[in-house]
Each structure stands twice: as C-alpha cells, then as structure tokens.
Amino acid sequence: MKRLSMILLASMLTVTLAQAQMKCGAGKCGASMSMDTSNANSELMTDMHQTNGYSVKIASVKSLVVGNNAIEVVLQKDGKVVTDAKVKVKFFMPEMPGMPYMEYKEKLKLDGNSYKGNANFSMSGTWQYQLKFKTADGEKHKVRGSINL
Ligand SMILES: [Cu+2]
C-alpha cells in the first residue's frame, strides 16, 4: 500500500511539473510558479456563520494548500456590508502524539468590501479557526469553524 501511494504521489508531481513547464513555455514563468503546491486533496474554504445579527463569510481565494493562502472575510448586517470592523483570525491545530500545538494568527485588512489576509498552514490535516471581530459600537463577536487540507 505504501509503495502504491508513493507511485501515485510521484505521478501527481509529474503532472504538476508538466503543467508548470507548459505555463513557463508560454513566456509567463513568474517567481510565484514555484510556490504552487496545490494538490488533489485541497479544497476551497467557504464558510458562512451567523452571530449577533451579523452574517460572516470566510473564504479562501484558491483551493487550500500547505503554506500561504489568501483569505477574505465579508461581514454583513441587515443585508449591508460592514466595513468598519476590526477582524482577526486564528487557525490552530491541537497537540497530538508526536506533534506540538500549532497556530497561525492574522489581522485582516479592509480592501473594498472585504477583509483580506493570509492563512499559513504548516501541515495538512484539520485546522480549527476562531474568527473575532470588533464592530464600531465596541462590541466583540466570535465565530468558530474548521477546515481540512
Ligand atoms: Cu498537526
């Protein structure tokens, strides 16, 4: 079984490399190309939450990968976008046998109608998150969820 999965992994890598080379061949071989570590197990994050009359959407711009991921949060109240909140998110993975507790914290920055930032996942697996936001009235709000990659 282990050998089979190694072969599968190797063939996936070969496909990824071939795709990268095709893109490079088109004359757009940017530095970001080597950062593309997407794989077949990753998925897009799009979670919706409700708290204290606010709707909270947290989403990844692309399929989640180990490493850096662009994420964005949209807050709404009564159908209107809320753009004057302070938003931060914490991703964490509990301690497990042979693996310490891990976390990544980010303060998001308003850009248009959403709050944007980065989420770095140091390994694949299930990550919990806490999204906190403070609204202009001084109230603090929190939602929780989890992602898999
Ligand atoms: Cu872990």
- pTM, entire model: 0.71
CA of 66 to the centre of ligand 1 (A): 11
CA of 122 to the centre of ligand 1 (A): 8
CATH tag, 46-148: 2.60.40.1940
CA of 147 to the centre of ligand 1 (A): 13
CA of 110 to the centre of ligand 1 (A): 30
CA of 123 to the centre of ligand 1 (A): 6
- pLDDT of 2 reads 53
- pLDDT of 30 reads 37
pLDDT per 10-residue tile (average), the chain, 149 residues: 54 45 36 41 87 98 96 98 98 93 98 98 95 98 96
CA of 135 to the centre of ligand 1 (A): 32
Q: DSSP for 50-72?
A: EETTEEEEEEESS---SEEEEEE
CA of 39 to the centre of ligand 1 (A): 18
Asked if 45 and 134 touch (Cβ cutoff 8 Å), the reply is no
Distance CA 107, CA 63 (A): 21
- pLDDT of 43 reads 85
